[in-house]
Amino acid sequence: IAAEKNGYDHFMLKEIHEQPAALRETLRGNIKDQVADLAHFNIDDIFADVKKIYIVACGTAYHAGLVGRWAIEKLARIPVETEIASEFRYRDVLWHPQSLMIVISQSGETADTMAVLREAKRNGIRVLAVTNVVGSAVSREADRVIYTHAGPEIAVASTKAYSTQLLIMYLLALHLARVRGTMPLNELKELTGELARIDGLAEKVFEQQNRIKEMAARHKDVQNTFFLGRGFDYAVAMEGALKLKEISYIHAEAYAAGELKHGPLALIYEGVPVLALITQDHLVEKTMSNIREVKARGAIVIAICKANLQESCQECDEQIILPDVNPILAPIVGVIPLQIFAYYMAIFRGADVDKPRNLAKSVTVE
Ligand code: AGP
């Protein structure tokens, strides 16, 4: 088994580092003539008259689905509802007659996700699966399948599966935007061009690895942490908090920054770390005003901030700088520091990173 770790101490760290390559693999063949083209997955017929999309998944895959919702709504202008499978399956869903379901599952074997897939089909709704495992239950039963090419993911904490799921969400949003004509061609090409280079941007984040490790060393003894963001950053905050709680066992909560005043602000105390995602240019000032509120209560604010926004977040106590990237695509690079942070927090606390207590890689029973 050690050999399979390729010199890394843990599968999780190896898989974090495999992300640029996994992104490259997943990009391959999906961009033609500068535009995203997923027609070879045979999906155009099932999307033809679609007026509503449901995205359903669990855990990290659900977080990818949240990004998918925002990307598809923004670029392809189709209303999307993203929900956790275990909730969706017991809800009295008002199925939209012209709808389509996307299920996202790394393993393709998650029980709740499978149950929702079957329920959709019973209701005559077509299902597109996004999965990493060829021949998995989800891939066998869905009407169409798009594969992420992350390669085998061994660590219980999902990393490269998530970033490649995000990539598929963007490719799909851009593909649908092109087919539906919801974006000017030059804008479409520009964003697609940036997506085509996202592996290189992801690679650059590793320049900050030592800094993040030192940061983790400083904060390893904390009991609570908070993750804040708005829009796409909120989805990434949720993923960052899940990573930290599942492998380091530190209490981690993600909040939409604008929601703080509605309750969570009461939890802030002297010295508590708050990780703030700052990648959405048009929301920086809003998020900064929330940051001032937590700082005024003594929180230590760690900003995960795009290079071009560095000046705006100078008031933060610590900074991790991300390469400049279109805000829509920022989650792919923004999540990497949070994965690395969670990894080192777990290491410094002596936790079993690859096999966290109480958890299984895929949840095949309810
Ligand atoms: C993430 O780190 C998890 N361990 C977990 O939330 C996982 O993403 C979830 O169980 C869904 O799994 P799937 O993608 O295989 O369906």
C-alpha gyration radius of the chain: 20
**Which ligand 1 atom lies nearest to the CA of residue 161?**
14
Q: Whose CA is nearest to atom 6 of ligand 1?
A: 59
pLDDT at 365 (0 to 100) = 84
132 Cβ inside 6 Å of ligand 1:
no
> Is residue 295 annotated as a catalytic residue, yes or no?
no
Q: Whose CA is nearest to atom 7 of ligand 1?
A: 59
pLDDT at 4 (0 to 100) = 86
Nearest 5°: the CA angle 194, 241, 205 is 35
> pLDDT for 263-314, tens place per residue?
999 999 999 999 999 999 999 999 999 999 999 999 999 999 999 999 999 9
pLDDT, mean of each 10-residue run, the chain (366 residues): 81 97 97 96 96 98 98 98 97 96 97 97 98 97 98 95 98 98 97 98 97 97 97 98 97 96 94 98 96 97 97 95 97 98 98 92 87
Q: Look-up: residue for tokens 């805000």? A: 327
105 Cβ inside 6 Å of ligand 1:
yes
d(CA 145, CA 139): 6
139 Cβ inside 6 Å of ligand 1:
no
**Cβ–Cβ < 8 Å for 227, 241:** yes
What distance in angstroms lies between residue 60's CA and the mean position of ligand 1's atoms? 5
Q: Whose CA is nearest to atom 16 of ligand 1?
A: 105
Q: Would you say the ipTM is above 0.85?
A: yes
pLDDT at 3 (0 to 100) = 61
What distance in angstroms lies between residue 323's CA and the mean position of ligand 1's atoms? 28
**Cβ–Cβ < 8 Å for 70, 77:** no
**Which ligand 1 atom lies nearest to the CA of residue 363?**
10
Q: What is the DSSP string of 244-297?
A: HHHHH--EEEEEEGGGGGGTGGGG--TT-EEEEEE--GGGHHHHHHHHHHHHHT
> pLDDT for 117-159, tens place per residue?
999 999 999 999 999 999 999 999 999 999 999 999 999 999 9
pLDDT at 232 (0 to 100) = 98
State how far the alpha carbon of 88 is from the alpha carbons of 36, 166, 233, in Å: 30, 21, 24
117 Cβ inside 6 Å of ligand 1:
no
pLDDT at 2 (0 to 100) = 57
